[in-house]
Structure 1
Amino acid sequence: MTADRSVAVIGAGFVGTSCALHLARKGWTVTLIDKGGPANGASFGPAGIIQREAVAPYAFPRSVSKILSVLMRRGIDIRYHTTALPGVARGLASYWWNSAPKRHAKATQAYATLIEHSLTEHGRQIDWAGQVADDLIRRDGWYDLYRTPAGLAGGLAHAKENHDGFGVPFERLSGDEVATLEPHLQERFTGAIHWPDTWSVRDPGELVAAYADAFVASGGTLVTGDVTDIAKVKDRWVLSSNGTEIAAADKVVVATGAWTDKVVAKLGWKPPLFVKRGYHRHFKGEGNRPLNNWVADLETGFLIAPMKRGIRLTTGAELGRLETPQTPVQITEAEKIARRMFPIGEPADPKPWMGGRPCTPDMLPVIGPSPDRDGIWYAFGHGHQGLTMGPATGRLIAEMMGGETPFVDPAPFRPSRFR
């Protein structure tokens, strides 16, 4: 093993674990470090959908009525803390600017290059992880439910754009077909869109753990530790936790999601990152009235999913500082609506879970080498799609670090665009 083939990956969510797994399988000596172990952060709590259909990043609302609704905190899909606004105002303004149709379309062209490989790359990692990972996957798609004809029409227009522009299949369901699909719904829906070319995950945290086990089986080393300092000592990067060295390597991959700004501050960079917080809570359901599929009420702003731990209710976005205590207004309000929609049963968790989605002003992840710190690489800023894009990001990082021809163009994701 040559001296320049050792790497430390910080962050063991879907992105970091995938980077570590790909690098280990290519012969690198890899140490994967996380302060709480695999899936300790946002990768534990998403809706559990590998969204092949999500070829476009989430855009900031452009209509005056929707912006006013957000500002006045009328809905449950988007909320914010007033105390957080000064810290995110610049990033949000840029996010809004980049959400204009032409700029958003350009971002989508780059974003889709990773999304379109989401199933094949997860498929490879599932094969590496074995039956324990495969048992967590369903390959029958998920459903957007619509309450109103206008909502369904808008959803169908979006679906047609995805189909015509990126070959994403979809199916339209009538209200009667929705009732047949989920016979225990307690409300009548106008219709739904089925995304068949999408996979769902019965426990995202367990899937990350399975990928981490595959990484260890490939020769990697998993370390639990909180990286508080990164320093170049001679020709190696030394990672320390409160003064105690926990790893040393020739290269470092920073894949710390919403916590990235705290890690890279040691490297003299403050990335333009802001956080969308999200919540979930599990419910016991009613055994004689099961939920059969992953279904979203997007007009309201929540999703329910039949997970291993129970029916998982997930929320939209909350703009707030990551370290601020929970303000579970969204999930409380979503629960009220979900109970009218479906018999979700009593809570299975003592309180809601909360995590942070790392978002960039141009909606694209940051993937590639640091422009001014030799040996430092970045893989963060995947917003709502760390689960979906993690394996593709891992492959891209490993190919770039190994001097191979990347399977997608990495230029739109380069860190130097923010330097």
Structure 2
Amino acid sequence: MDDVIILGAGIVGIATGIHLLRRGRSVTLVDKSEPGHETSFGNAGIIQREGVRPHPFPRDLQTLLQVGLHLSTAARYEPLALPKLAPPLLRYWWESSPEHYRKVVESYAPLIGRSIITHSDFIEAAGPAAEKLISRYGWHLAFRSPEKLEKEAGKAQGDHDQFGIGYEVLDWAALKAVEPALLGGLTGAIHWTDPWTVKDPGALVEAYFRLFETLGGSFIRGAATGLTQTANGWSAEIGGKSIAARQAVIALGPWAPDVLEKLGYRLPLFVKRGYHMHYDTEGGAPLNHLLLDPEVGYAMAPMARGIRITTGAEFAARDAAPTPIQLGKAEQAARELFPLGRRLDPQPWKGARPCTPDMMPIISKAPRHEGLFVGIGHAHHGFTLGPATGELLAQAMTGEPTAIDIKPFRMERFMGG
């Protein structure tokens, strides 16, 4: 019998396994896919140290109308999914009020503060294969209008003063000097200097998985059709075979409810789906650093596979058919700014970000079961927070003091406790 079985081999599951193995625990990791091939694979590749403010639900009328009328690229919804999505989205709207949101940021900022620290630890341990994927320049939050750039600069100064986040304001000439292939249409950008970017997020997670294996971790590929509490711990059924462990971790991202609901935990989780596509460039034009176009709602990043465009949020059922409408709009807008070439992928990639109504992940012991722990609900920051979540879970599971207070992330906040 192992000490721990972890369901989910994305970045959260792998990171939890690494931290547990370092503490002398034996660990088996289980996933229906190859490690790191779901949401961990398809993101924009930012370790978002600056991301102390999670994405709130829009509360201004203009944005709500744009989303409601399907005019927005940053967010859209599938009408057929609304009846099921309405309750958690209503709570999401409520938690995004100024009073509630201030409290969320106070709890969330220390967690984001662990992001670079814990990724740096893994990158060093994983060796050159991981290090070569990393850029420490930061990224550009670019604006088409001077008014919005000025407003964002004010917010950036506030984050610098409160949380020590590093930034600089680039006017068009300074941005053009860093990104000479830009065509125009921008007034300038906020250069966030603290975050790191990754030119192949899937490859970085694979490097972390190799570290997991080097430390002695085991991996079983297969869907866990059941997780059952036993007299000695936990048992999971994978491919008709049973494996047992003293403790269990659910790190299944958007698939976590499939297991949790059978154990009696009905949480107000929902997904924000997203898409990406890779492109070549006209004449080999370089994009040196990630650029996010918030006034339209997409990111454009230099990746090992080409220029990756990632879309905003699509509120839809997790397993519904793809509707990559946002990608088409994002591509059109990106071509106004940069000489994109042809599409390189046969079809858009689709992923699902697991979300909670209060914008904070669940990093917690399951309140009604001994030996069961959960790490889910990271929304837009799963790639950023995977190693930090793994650190906190491993500390909680082994009885150590946690690096930060994890009470704000406990599951009971959605259960009346």
**Matching of residue 362 in structure 1 with residue 394 in structure 2:** no
The 5 Å alignment of 1:41-56 reads 41-56=38-53
Contact 1:80 1:319 in 2 (8 A): yes
SS of residue matched to 2:284: coil
* Larger displacement relative to structure 2 (164-173 or 336-345): 336-345
**Matching of residue 102 in structure 1 with residue 94 in structure 2:** no
Contact 1:179 1:188 in 2 (8 A): no
Q: Determine the structure 1 residue equivalent to 2:331.
A: 335
Q: Determine the structure 2 residue equivalent to 1:344.
A: 340
Cα distance in 2 between the residues matched to 1:249 and 1:172: 52
Q: Deviation digits for residues 71-90 of structure 1, max 9, x if unmatched? A: 11111000000011111101
> Once the 2 structures are TM-superposed, how far is the Cα of residue 242 of structure 1 from its aligned partner?
5.5
Cα distance in 2 between the residues matched to 1:259 and 1:193: 35
Cα distance in 1 between the residues matched to 2:74 and 2:254: 20
Contact 2:185 2:336 in 1 (8 A): no
> Once the 2 structures are TM-superposed, how far is the Cα of residue 390 of structure 1 from its aligned partner?
0.7
Q: Deviation digits for residues 267-303 of structure 1, max 9, x if unmatched? A: 1212110000000000122353111111111111011
**Matching of residue 325 in structure 1 with residue 334 in structure 2:** no
**Matching of residue 40 in structure 1 with residue 37 in structure 2:** yes
Q: Determine the structure 2 residue equivalent to 1:22.
A: 19
Cα distance in 2 between the residues matched to 1:81 and 1:392: 33
1:170 to 155, 167, 171: 167
Q: Determine the structure 2 residue equivalent to 1:182.
A: 179
Q: Deviation digits for residues 174-221 of structure 1, max 9, x if unmatched? A: 111112221111223111100111100010001111101100100110
Give the letter for the 2:377 counterpart.
G
**Matching of residue 281 in structure 1 with residue 243 in structure 2:** no
2:142 to 138, 141, 145: 145
Contact 2:355 2:379 in 1 (8 A): yes
Q: Determine the structure 1 residue equivalent to 2:202.
A: 205
1:75 to 59, 72, 75: 72
Give the letter for the 2:284 counterpart.
N
Q: Determine the structure 2 residue equivalent to 1:372.
A: 368
2:404 to 380, 402, 408: 408
Cα distance in 2 between the residues matched to 1:230 and 1:62: 40
Cα distance in 1 between the residues matched to 2:56 and 2:220: 37
2:231 to 224, 234, 249: 234
Contact 1:175 1:188 in 2 (8 A): no
Cα distance in 1 between the residues matched to 2:92 and 2:156: 23
2:10 to 13, 35, 43: 13
* Larger displacement relative to structure 2 (336-345 or 378-387): 336-345
Q: Determine the structure 2 residue equivalent to 1:57.
A: 54
2:251 to 249, 255, 275: 255
Percent identity for Structure 1 against Structure 2: 44
**Matching of residue 292 in structure 1 with residue 288 in structure 2:** yes
* Larger displacement relative to structure 2 (154-163 or 89-98): 154-163
Cα distance in 1 between the residues matched to 2:322 and 2:316: 10
Contact 1:185 1:341 in 2 (8 A): yes
Q: Determine the structure 2 residue equivalent to 1:123.
A: 120
Cα distance in 2 between the residues matched to 1:346 and 1:321: 30
Q: How many residues align?
A: 415
Q: Deviation digits for residues 121-157 of structure 1, max 9, x if unmatched? A: 1000111111101111111110011000121122112
Cα distance in 2 between the residues matched to 1:159 and 1:289: 30
> Once the 2 structures are TM-superposed, how far is the Cα of residue 117 of structure 1 from its aligned partner?
1.3
What stretches of structure 2 of length at least 5 have no aligned partner? none
Contact 2:186 2:337 in 1 (8 A): no
1:223 to 205, 220, 235: 220
Cα distance in 2 between the residues matched to 1:316 and 1:397: 29
Cα distance in 2 between the residues matched to 1:148 and 1:188: 9
Cα distance in 1 between the residues matched to 2:315 and 2:239: 30
SS of residue matched to 2:282: coil
**Matching of residue 353 in structure 1 with residue 349 in structure 2:** yes
Contact 1:229 1:242 in 2 (8 A): no
The 5 Å alignment of 1:382-401 reads 382-401=378-397
> Once the 2 structures are TM-superposed, how far is the Cα of residue 19 of structure 1 from its aligned partner?
0.6
Contact 1:178 1:189 in 2 (8 A): no
1:160 to 148, 157, 161: 157
Cα distance in 1 between the residues matched to 2:222 and 2:158: 45
Give the letter for the 1:398 counterpart.
A
Contact 2:4 2:245 in 1 (8 A): yes
Aligned-pair RMSD on alpha carbons?
1.2
Give the letter for the 1:379 counterpart.
G
Q: Determine the structure 1 residue equivalent to 2:302.
A: 306
Cα distance in 1 between the residues matched to 2:165 and 2:362: 25
With the length of structure 1 as denominator, give the TM-score of the two structures.
0.97
Cα distance in 2 between the residues matched to 1:219 and 1:163: 41
Contact 1:91 1:361 in 2 (8 A): yes
What stretches of structure 1 of length at least 5 have no aligned partner? none
2:192 to 192, 195, 201: 195
